[in-house]
Structure 1
Amino acid sequence: MQTETITYIIISGIIALLLALFQYAYKSKIKGLRSWLLSALRFVTLFSIFMLLINPKFDKITYFNEKPNLVVAIDNSESIDYLNQSQNSTDFINALKANEALNSNFNLEFYSFGKEIHQADSLLFDEKQSNMALVFKRLAEVYNNSIAPTLLISDGNQTYGNDYAYATKRYKQPVFPIILGDTTTYTDVKIQQLNVNRYAYLKNKFPVEVIATYNGNSPVNTQLRITSGTTTVFSQPISFSKSETSRIVNLTLPANSVGVTSYRAQVVPLDNEKNTINNVKNFAVEVIDQKTNVAIVSDILHPDLGALKKSIESNEQRKAEILSTTEFLSASGDFQLVIVYQPTNNFRALFKEIDRLKLNKIVIAGTKTNWSLLNQLQSNYKQQLTNQIEEYQPSLNQNYATFIVDNLNFSEFPPLTAEFGETTFSVPFETILYKTINGTEIDEPLFATFEINDRREALILGEGIWRWRAQAFLNEDSFNTFDNFIGKLVQYLSTNKRRTRLNVNYESFYNGNDNVKIAAQFFNKNYEFEDNANLNITLKNKDTDETQSFPFVLKNTNYEVDLSGLDAGNYSFTVKVNNENISKSGELKILDYNVEQQFLNANVSKLQSLAETSNGTSYFIDNTNAVINNLLNDSRFATIQKSTKKVVPLIDWKYLLALIILSLSAEWFIRKYNGLI
């Protein structure tokens, strides 16, 4: 309490006492005990009122005990069941929940993980992938500022995501791996990795790289075979020994027909080999008869150019070249799409050539753009000339109807830089992204597309797209989402097909462990997104003639259906809109491959290393009593007494008001009783 406040309280006490004595002691007719009693009551009333006016503040300290958290992360992938450890895992979880001492000393929190991490409501051990690095990333967001020893119940075999061996750099908690499995070594040969491009071009040969590994002590001979249907397209003998445990086989296969062709790579199993599933790997290649060539034309150097090239070429169907205006004019007939980056005075001949060849184009404007010239070279839009620079953040147009645009959380992306001023269009256009200035969305496009005279064009009013690609990686640990966004824009501009009210987005084939998701958009007759439509997909397994139907679910600005539980095989499908005579058909292939069944035992050494680097201890699943006892006896995880300090103003103390009422009431009663009122 401050000295000034204490001074006010002392003065208030003196004043209250003087006023009370003045009324009941100085020249008062009341004498004796009644006088002193009434003076005391009046003093209490006045002093309490003065205290409320001063309203001093007091420190209130509350003590409480805080138990540490015990985080239990359980591997819910299929490999646990495949290694016959699902029952052991369930029994251990039940033992933790039933232990009274453990529950009284820790707050137990259970999570299960596969490709994602969830609260552990139930364990089915049916996840197709295991991403252990994501587990530590998500737990770090919750528990890094508390005491939270972590039990990791897993076989240590990761099939997806970054290497979890470095997780302790981000996760600052001791990790206690509970190892599911044993250290028994089995003789085994398998296809460790198979590398092949997703696309190939008709009449060409495409490369395939097969990496086969061996675990054993004796020299062995086997054979690598690649078949397509019943035809063997490649065969080669391979041998292994204790010192030579891997073989890399590089080969090429012909692309003779357009469409998806599936292949089966197999290392012939050894005698008495325990796991033969990992000897086989299915793969597929989509053969296409043409490639989209994109010219990125610029006379300045900018990191946007490299970002655009990387995004476009992330799809093997497309190739991008960064050219100057002179270089493009000498090879203009080789391209189906032109990206005109920040046109300057040298771009007059370029625009004439694009018009002559009737090419589609993307125009990207920025701080170096000569808008005076650009306004002259085309008549579709005009930019107000201000010679001022502004930064614009993007905001997604939920009703964009030309192609499916996923929301990449654009509003959190860094701003693009461009010349300030209004852009007016003289042709019908659609906005993909609106401009946002200082958090306020304005009705002006940042990204726009339009069609005129059977040609398509996009206008991007800002430079700095490379920052968007970097931000997408920070958000997703992958460039894929941003690259897909640019890829859809390029795909739309590379063709002159008429737009339709129903758009369906899918891949020609999926690996067995991929998420098989199909997205769709449906628009009304004015090409406005219809968010209350009923879409269904009917799938037919071409191998078994079995037919299944699934409804689409609205997700942001798309309809989506998850088909991840489908068996491997060839499927035809039809997407229909209820109450509308509109449908789209297609075909897809799901390859037979289960990455979780590629393991023979637990990755003991990696889990033990994780425990050592995080100051934890590793245990095998049959040693559960030691786990619980060591956790209870570890001094790092003792219950901590903490205190909270709260500043409480006197006006919040309700008892003071009651004291004032009580003293006034008592004074009135005494005066009334003695006939003084």
Structure 2
Amino acid sequence: MSLIIEYSWWFFLLCLLLGVGYAFLLYYKNKNIIYGKTMRIIMASLRGTVITLIAFLLLAPMLKFLTKQKEKPIIVVAVDNSESLKLGKDSSFYINKLTANLNQLIHSFGNNYNVRPCLIGEKVRFLQAEQPISLDYSDKQTNISEVFDNVAQNYTNQNLGAVILLTDGIFNVGANPFYKIEPLNCPIYTVGLGNTELETDQLISSIQHNKQTFQGNFFPVEVNVMATKLAGKKSLLTVEDKEGNEVFKKELMITGDNYFETVRFNLQAGEKGIYRYHVNLIELENEITYKNNHATFFVEVIDSKEKIAIIYNSPHPDIAAIKQALELSDKYEVEAVAAQNFRMNPEDYSLIILHQLPSLQNNISSLLSDIQNKGISCLYILGKQTNLTAFNKLNSGVLISQNKTLFNDAFPLLNNNFSLFTLSEDIKQIISTFPPLYTFFGDYKLTVSSNVLMYQKINTVSTDYPLIFFNQVAGRKIGVITGDGIWQWKIHNFIAKNNHEQFNELINKMALFLSVKADRSFFRVHTKNLFNETEDVRFSAELYNESYELISEPDVLMTISSEDGKQYKSLFSKEENHNYSLRMSNLPSGEYHWEASTNIGAKNYLKTGTFVVKEVELEIQNLVADHELLQNIAQKSGGEFYTPNNMDQLVEDIKKNDEITSIVSYHKIYNHLLNSWLYFVVLILLMGSEWFLRKWGGGY
């Protein structure tokens, strides 16, 4: 501890002189003083000290403390809780012993480390520091890379000592974890669980099929069958519909110990709806598990395709990215054509996408007139070639004013109050990381009826300029993307997630909203037809009065019935924007019927539908552990690879690692003397002592 002031210490002499001078004038120049010499010296000293200490406060004195802080090294222990571990031949060890061994390992670190346990599965779940690990191997997916992403995000600038990764190395969601370890900047110690040897088994490794098809169409199905250590055996593949009727079968001759065959066949679609098919392999003797002999797939049968035209001013990567995303859905028939070559009837299309049109080269005034007059939905994508003057006359919902033709790089900023359609949590999370679009620099004026999905974020400044918005004029739906370069979002999606799912979903959600004709009913309920068992079943609803004003006063009741007659009842939540929402978690796989009901006064409203919760079967498709991946992760990060039998050595190696140690830091703390109660106690004692002596000496 030390004492400092904001001024030179020479100023303290002035405080001292002030105190001495005041005491001298009071006790030596005052003719009425009746005290003796000794008493005057004592009282003058007390008064001089008090005045000096009070004057000293004018110099803003502070006490400086140096505090020592010890930060223990953080050890993240990430454990695989996926289903694949309990399906192998060592399942009894993982079910009965591994949990106890893990908790003993964590206990072995003692109090010198901060151990942060977490479970790996569909999501990474961190446990409380003192909470024991409990494994039930119930997760239907394994996302190892999310562990590294989570640790890098949450433990940056902390004393991260090491990551202990216990897994079989099999990942079926997310990116390859090997390419995610660099940001951690710490050793990763891996423990190889599972079995690396091929076991006697046959399985349905994957099924390829159209997610949607049309009534009466024949649609192709490909079933990939694998078998190990079953050479010379015969198997039988059968396909049944949900009523148990056999619609296909084929006998298989297993020709080797590492057998693979793709079985191709066609099925005919029935009436509109969701169809479930069961694929089965007969059970052969000595298979390690029979669970992967069975698989299920679903096909949605729809009545007809929606036609979408992408009309462009000139070739651009945006066009291919959007077209490929839309073509993944069998709902759409997509054509991409240059503006000068478009000869079709616009009324044949549910949605027309205009890329950098109108332009100076292609005015397309006749086409634009047809689109507006015939009420065809349109998505405008603006860019450098767009004729802004012509675009501003289209009554799209925005006017863009420019003094000079300049452009901005605008990052997407999600509008959390957007309600025209629902985005998944995965899309919401990745949007903020998307690269910028190339937008017009200028002043944007939106109409009141416009609904903004994303705003522009320019550099680090959040603006109210729209990046993507939607509008409705005379019953015609309009969408506008105010910049080009959306193809980069697709590339970024692949880099971040090793797939294009979020980009494709975003494009398809926009197209679905724009292409669907306006619903004029008073009660509307929105949901998907197909969910994975690992995701929540979500509903949104809207209720309108006779004036088509959105209201949310009445309660909306949802009743969901399963195939076996079990019912789930719940009330919708009322949102601030007068919409309703409902989320149902942990519904078992199967087919469900739903009824949503409400009333406005004496009028009752009812909506019904069906959806299917699909079982996730990723974990049973591969039971061979990938210890080579774990060895590579350990080697690249500076860690070591272990087996469950030598986990004790892992703890000893970490304890011996001199780089995994506590960090001692010192912090300066400043406290103004004016805030010190002890300082004022001293002043009061000094003044009280002087007062007592004056009274005792007969003074006033």
Shorter-chain TM range is 0.7 to 0.9
Contact 1:536 1:577 in 2 (8 A): yes
Paired residue for 2:286, among 263, 272, 280? 272
Q: 1:614 to 1:22 in 2, by over 3 A?
A: same
Give a deviation string over 1:325-350, Cα, whole Å, max 9, x none: 22222575753321234323521121
Partner in structure 2 of residue 51 of structure 1:
56
Partner in structure 2 of residue 650 of structure 1:
673
Q: 1:497 to 1:43 in 2, by over 3 A?
A: closer
Partner in structure 1 of residue 471 of structure 2:
449
Contact 1:418 1:463 in 2 (8 A): no
Are residues 1:297 and 2:322 paired?
Answer: no
Partner in structure 1 of residue 339 of structure 2:
325
Shift in Å at residue 24 of structure 1?
4.3
Paired residue for 1:161, among 163, 166, 174? 174
> Residues of 2 paired with 1:113 and 1:92: CA distance?
17
Q: 1:527 to 1:330 in 2, by over 3 A?
A: closer
Contact 1:343 1:365 in 2 (8 A): no
Partner in structure 2 of residue 487 of structure 1:
508
Give a deviation string over 1:374-416, Cα, whole Å, max 9, x none: 566x67878486656797976748485x655678659968685
Residue 364 of structure 2: SS of its match in structure 1? helix
Q: 1:484 to 1:434 in 2, by over 3 A?
A: closer
Partner in structure 1 of residue 521 of structure 2:
500
Partner in structure 2 of residue 39 of structure 1:
44
Are residues 1:235 and 2:244 paired?
Answer: no
Shift in Å at residue 93 of structure 1?
4.5
Partner in structure 2 of residue 522 of structure 1:
542
Are residues 1:71 and 2:91 paired?
Answer: no
In structure 1, stretches of 5+ residues that fail to align are none
Residue 582 of structure 1: SS of its match in structure 2? strand
User: Which AA in structure 1 matches 2:12?
Assistant: I
Are residues 1:131 and 2:154 paired?
Answer: no
Are residues 1:61 and 2:66 paired?
Answer: yes
RMSD over equivalenced CA pairs, Å: 4.2
Paired residue for 1:354, among 367, 371, 374? 371
Partner in structure 1 of residue 210 of structure 2:
197
> Residues of 2 paired with 1:493 and 1:196: CA distance?
27
Give a deviation string over 1:13-37, Cα, whole Å, max 9, x none: 3443454455546798666433432
Shift in Å at residue 658 of structure 1?
2.0
> Residues of 2 paired with 1:474 and 1:251: CA distance?
29
> Residues of 2 paired with 1:35 and 1:423: CA distance?
84
Residue 171 of structure 2: SS of its match in structure 1? coil
Residue 612 of structure 1: SS of its match in structure 2? helix
Paired residue for 2:262, among 249, 260, 263? 249
Are residues 1:562 and 2:575 paired?
Answer: no
Shift in Å at residue 519 of structure 1?
1.8
Paired residue for 1:596, among 619, 629, 646? 619
User: Which AA in structure 2 matches 1:113?
Assistant: I
Q: After alignment, is 458-467 or 58-67 more displaced?
A: 458-467
> Residues of 2 paired with 1:210 and 1:624: CA distance?
41
Paired residue for 1:572, among 583, 588, 593? 593
Shift in Å at residue 61 of structure 1?
0.4
Q: 1:127 to 1:560 in 2, by over 3 A?
A: farther
Q: 1:252 to 1:7 in 2, by over 3 A?
A: farther
Residue 44 of structure 1: SS of its match in structure 2? helix
Q: 1:274 to 1:337 in 2, by over 3 A?
A: same
Shift in Å at residue 460 of structure 1?
2.1
User: Which AA in structure 2 matches 1:313?
Assistant: E
> Residues of 2 paired with 1:533 and 1:167: CA distance?
49
> Residues of 1 paired with 2:226 and 2:618: CA distance?
16
Residue 275 of structure 1: SS of its match in structure 2? coil
Give a deviation string over 1:358-377, Cα, whole Å, max 9, x none: 5332344566544554566x
> Residues of 2 paired with 1:96 and 1:554: CA distance?
48
> Residues of 2 paired with 1:138 and 1:439: CA distance?
26
> Residues of 2 paired with 1:12 and 1:141: CA distance?
54
> Residues of 1 paired with 2:615 and 2:70: CA distance?
54
Shift in Å at residue 530 of structure 1?
4.6
Shift in Å at residue 162 of structure 1?
1.9
Residue 505 of structure 2: SS of its match in structure 1? helix
Contact 1:282 1:593 in 2 (8 A): no
Are residues 1:661 and 2:684 paired?
Answer: yes
Q: 1:161 to 1:11 in 2, by over 3 A?
A: same
> Residues of 1 paired with 2:198 and 2:184: CA distance?
32
Partner in structure 2 of residue 8 of structure 1:
11
Q: 1:613 to 1:114 in 2, by over 3 A?
A: same
Q: 1:475 to 1:7 in 2, by over 3 A?
A: farther
Q: After alignment, is 137-146 or 227-236 more displaced?
A: 227-236
Contact 2:206 2:621 in 1 (8 A): no
Contact 2:73 2:113 in 1 (8 A): yes
Shift in Å at residue 450 of structure 1?
1.9
Q: 1:328 to 1:564 in 2, by over 3 A?
A: farther
Contact 2:62 2:671 in 1 (8 A): yes
Q: 1:295 to 1:55 in 2, by over 3 A?
A: same
Contact 1:311 1:487 in 2 (8 A): yes
Shift in Å at residue 142 of structure 1?
1.9
Shift in Å at residue 53 of structure 1?
0.5
Aligned residues: 661
Shift in Å at residue 310 of structure 1?
4.4
Q: After alignment, is 76-85 or 44-53 more displaced?
A: 76-85
Shift in Å at residue 592 of structure 1?
4.8
Report matched runs for 1:44-443 at 5 Å: 44-82=49-87, 83-84=91-92, 85-95=94-104, 99=107, 102-120=109-127, 123-144=135-156, 145-182=158-195, 185-201=198-214, 205-216=218-229, 219-223=231-235, 225-229=237-241, 230-233=245-248, 235=250, 237=252, 239-241=254-256, 245=258, 247-249=260-262, 251-259=264-272, 260-300=274-314, 304-330=318-344, 332=346, 335-341=349-355, 342-344=357-359, 346-354=363-371, 359-364=376-381, 369-370=386-387, 372-374=389-391, 383=399, 387=403, 396=415, 398=417, 400=419, 404=422, 417=440, 420=443, 422=445, 429=449, 431-433=451-453
Contact 2:140 2:616 in 1 (8 A): no
Shift in Å at residue 161 of structure 1?
1.9
Contact 2:490 2:503 in 1 (8 A): no
Shift in Å at residue 446 of structure 1?
6.5
> Residues of 1 paired with 2:52 and 2:615: CA distance?
86
User: Which AA in structure 2 matches 1:449?
Assistant: N
> Residues of 2 paired with 1:71 and 1:11: CA distance?
59
User: Which AA in structure 2 matches 1:12?
Assistant: C
Q: 1:422 to 1:638 in 2, by over 3 A?
A: closer
TM-score by length of 1: 0.82
Residue 156 of structure 1: SS of its match in structure 2? coil
Q: Percent identity?
A: 21
Shift in Å at residue 436 of structure 1?
7.8
Contact 2:83 2:139 in 1 (8 A): yes
User: Which AA in structure 2 matches 1:491?
Assistant: L
> Residues of 2 paired with 1:22 and 1:441: CA distance?
70
Give a deviation string over 1:94-125, Cα, whole Å, max 9, x none: 4356x4x6342223333233211224366544
